[in-house]
Amino acid sequence: MKEYEDLLDFSKITSTLNSVNSLLTWDQETFMPKGAIDVRSSQVALISQMVHERRTDKQFLQKLEKLIDIDTGEIKAKDLNPVQQKALTLWRQDYLKQTKLPASFVKEFSETTSMATQAWAKARKENDFSAFAPTLQKIVQLNQKQADILGYEDHPYDALMDLYEPEMTIKKIEPLFSSLEKGLSKLVKKLNAADPIDDAFLYENYDHDKQIRFGNLVLSELKIDRNHMRLDESNHPFSIAMHPDDSRITTRIIPNNFMSNIYSVLHEVGHGLYEMFLPKQYFGSPVCEALSLGIHESQSRFWETRIGKSEGFWIYFYPLLQDTFPKELSNVSFEKFFRATNAVKPNLIRVESDEVSYCLHILLRFDIEKELIAGTMQVKDIPKVWNEKMQELMGICPQTDSDGCLQDIHWSCGSMGYFPTYALGNLYASQFFLGFEKEYPDWRKRLSQGDLEFVKGFLKQNIHQHGRMLTQDELAKKVSGSSLTEKPYLDYLEAKYHKIYRI
């Protein structure tokens, strides 16, 4: 249908502009010289404004109105297939959300956050929260303004969460998080009372270049098409995609914590594969987009924890790791290595934390963000509140803000309402794993033989290729047979760690 093709062509240009913005962001965090930040901020702000203007342009509205009623959502066009009908519904939904934000606000938000990432990096390096606080205060105010513009029923934080996890609200998420906190706290206390696991050998100095080499070896064993994905280093590991044919991931090398690199690679490749296997034949339409940040995070945690922390995975990969680090690991038995990589002990750094206490880090950030956006907490109080909550949840307290409230890049990017998706990602990953285990009861044996293709195939077939065709709940039910709950995740952790800790 000509009208639909006209709309798609217009949207493809918008998507291409957005991909240029992603490329600028990737370059800023990897290879851009630091002195270029001012001009880069202007570039990012300009492209962001152009993308927003196109998404809210009268020309776009006119093309969309020919096919769907903007007020009611009733599809006017005839002879459209289900994918095209879904695309129209999503275009309308996104348009109504986008038109609430004035172009001037989008530009100010983009320019502020582009500058803020550099301010954050400097403050983190120098352990100086006070230097970052004025910038963060502006970001909080912009997010409060954004919540007011977008609108909400019960809590301003709902409007921000909806940007990353559509339809998610505090009312829906708090019961999940409450049960999660109780279950995790109970398990953490039980494991902390057990005999400690010796993992000191993991924290010796491991050569930088060898770490990079092993990260690339993992990608090679995963049979990643390196014509469409590349791995680089950055201050904070991340994944970003310009198109299903162009996915970028980064890792961070820590000399005295070499497993961090391996888990970062697996985590980010999970994100990257999701982007690579979206239905690219629909690029330019909302169908060729990730469903939500919670679903996106489920893919990274699926690979990092359910696969990358499994015994089967390391039965195959540990000999390769020993070959890479013979001096450090040749005399370390498999059992000692596997138990050490799954040792549970509170860690100040979220991205370095074990999988049992990981979500407690998210609950801390969730509580702080809620209060900041509601105006019941001031930016200047963040370090104090952060340290108190760390002590309460995990029994540890940061000695520096660099290891505390300055550790994450997200607030400098303006991403408030984003952190809950990390916990949701763990829950969704365990939910999806129910379907995976049912389809492949021999998955442990296949992993131990170095077979990873079936994992990629399952995720592509059941999750990636659907794009935004299904809702999160529909996807959870399709793959696992039920709506999202915290139970599969808690059951998995209980069974695994009782065995590892022999309790």
- Specify whether 130 is located in the same domain as 187: no
Q: CA dist 226 to 23, 244, 247, Å?
A: 17, 13, 9
- Specify whether 212 is located in the same domain as 281: yes
Length of the chain counted residue by residue: 503
Distance CA 476, CA 493 (A): 20
Q: Which of 165, 268, 275, 297 is catalytic?
A: 268
- Specify whether 134 is located in the same domain as 208: no
Q: For residues 478 and 462, is the Cβ–Cβ distance under 8 A?
A: yes
- Specify whether 216 is located in the same domain as 183: yes
Q: Distance between terminal CA atoms of the chain?
A: 64
Q: For residues 340 and 198, is the Cβ–Cβ distance under 8 A?
A: yes
Q: What pLDDT is stored for residue 110 in this prediction?
A: 87
CATH number for the domain harbouring residue 241: 1.10.1370.30
User: DSSP assignment of 357-369, as one string?
Assistant: THHHHHHHHHHHH
Convert the pLDDT of each residue in 336-366 to its tens digit: 999 999 999 888 999 878 999 999 999 999 9
Residue 422 has pLDDT above 90, yes or no: yes
Q: What is the rounded average pLDDT of the residues 111-134? A: 94
| Residue after which a domain boundary falls, among 151, 185, 220 | 151
Q: How sure is the predictor about 323, in pLDDT bands with cuts at 50, 70 and 90?
A: very high
Residue with tokens 């922390």: 309
- Segments forming the whole domain that contains residue 121: 2-151
User: Comparing C-alpha atoms, which of 361, 356, 371 is closest to residue 408?
Assistant: 361
- Is residue 160 a part of any domain in this protein? no
Distance CA 295, CA 292 (A): 5
- Specify whether 479 is located in the same domain as 384: yes
- Specify whether 472 is located in the same domain as 324: yes
Q: What pLDDT is stored for residue 189 in this prediction?
A: 86
Torsion over CA: 21, 22, 27, 30 (sign): positive
Distance CA 211, CA 233 (A): 11
Residue with tokens 């301010």: 119
Structural domain tally of the chain? Answer: 2
Percentage, residues of the chain above pLDDT 70: 100
Taking each helix axis from N to C end, the angle separating 358-374 and 382-394, rounded to the nearest 10 degrees, works out to 150
Taking each helix axis from N to C end, the angle separating 170-192 and 420-439, rounded to the nearest 10 degrees, works out to 80
- Specify whether 80 is located in the same domain as 109: yes
Convert the pLDDT of each residue in 258-310 to its tens digit: 999 999 999 999 999 999 999 999 999 999 999 999 999 999 999 999 999 99
- Residue 185, Cβ density class (10 Å: 0-12 exposed, 13-18 middle, ≥19 buried): middle
Percentage, residues of the chain above pLDDT 90: 91
Torsion over CA: 150, 155, 160, 161 (sign): negative
Q: What pLDDT is stored for residue 103 in this prediction?
A: 79
Helix (H) or strand (E) holding 210: helix 208-221
Q: What pLDDT is stored for residue 369 in this prediction?
A: 98
Q: What is the rounded average pLDDT of the residues 396-400? A: 95
Q: What is the 3-state secondary structure (H, E, C) of 430-475?
A: HHHHHHHHHHCCCHHHHHHCCCCHHHHHHHHHHCHHHCCCCCHHHH
CA 319 centroid distance within chain: 30
Q: What is the rounded average pLDDT of the residues 124-141? A: 97
Average pLDDT, the chain: 95
Q: How sure is the predictor about 114, in pLDDT bands with cuts at 50, 70 and 90?
A: confident
Q: How sure is the predictor about 1, in pLDDT bands with cuts at 50, 70 and 90?
A: confident
Q: What pLDDT is stored for residue 68 in this prediction?
A: 97
Convert the pLDDT of each residue in 452-498 to its tens digit: 999 999 999 999 999 999 999 999 999 999 999 999 999 999 999 99
User: Comparing C-alpha atoms, which of 438, 442, 429 is closest to residue 475?
Assistant: 429
Provide the token pair at 10: 């217009």
Q: What pLDDT is stored for residue 83 in this prediction?
A: 97
- Specify whether 147 is located in the same domain as 190: no
- Specify whether 247 is located in the same domain as 307: yes
Q: What pLDDT is stored for residue 353 in this prediction?
A: 87
| Residue after which a domain boundary falls, among 100, 116, 151 | 151
Provide the token pair at 476: 């959870």
Convert the pLDDT of each residue in 214-247 to its tens digit: 999 999 999 999 999 999 999 889 999 999 999 9
- Is residue 159 a part of any domain in this protein? no
Torsion over CA: 13, 15, 21, 23 (sign): negative
Please say if 65 is a catalytic residue.
Answer: no
Q: For residues 350 and 408, is the Cβ–Cβ distance under 8 A?
A: yes
Q: How sure is the predictor about 98, in pLDDT bands with cuts at 50, 70 and 90?
A: confident
- Specify whether 145 is located in the same domain as 6: yes
- Specify whether 229 is located in the same domain as 129: no
| Residue after which a domain boundary falls, among 151, 185, 218 | 151
User: Comparing C-alpha atoms, which of 198, 192, 182, 184 is closest to residue 503?
Assistant: 192
> Which of 11-15, 394-398, 403-407 is predicted least confidently?
394-398
- Specify whether 134 is located in the same domain as 176: no
Q: For residues 282 and 288, is the Cβ–Cβ distance under 8 A?
A: yes
